[in-house]
Amino acid sequence: MPQQNPLQSNTRISCPDCGNDIDFFEVADDVVITTHYVQNEDGSFSQQEDNSQVLGQIRLICGECQTDLSAFHDRFSEMVF
């Protein structure tokens, strides 16, 4: 059965190289992460807020064969809930 083009699919993204349609990584370059903590009475810390700012490129990578699937990142972003 021929593999469906991931850009033409209305439902799932699949890697054109290995067929993976389960595991993916989103990789962001040049990220600034700011985390706000408060110190508790016992000296431990509790996280209050976490903010990230991506200054560089964001890539979508196949979790099986590491093929760059960045062409499908917009579709991926639309489907993250």
The per-residue pLDDT for range 20-49, each reduced to its tens digit, is: 999 999 999 999 999 999 999 999 999 999
The per-residue pLDDT for range 58-74, each reduced to its tens digit, is: 999 999 999 999 999 99
pLDDT of residue 55: 96
pTM for the model: 0.70
Residue type, 79: M
Domain map (residue ranges) of the chain: 28-78
Residue-wise DSSP of 11-28: S----TTT---S-EEEEE
Task: Say if residue 1's pLDDT is above 50.
Answer: no
Q: What angle do CA 36, 41, 46 make, to 5 degrees?
A: 25
Distances in Å between the alpha carbon of 32 and those of 26, 61, 74?
Answer: 16, 21, 22
The pLDDT-based confidence of 78 (bands split at 50, 70, 90) is confident
Q: What percent of the chain has pLDDT over 90?
A: 77
For the beta carbon of residue 69, count every other beta carbon within 10 angstroms.
Answer: 23
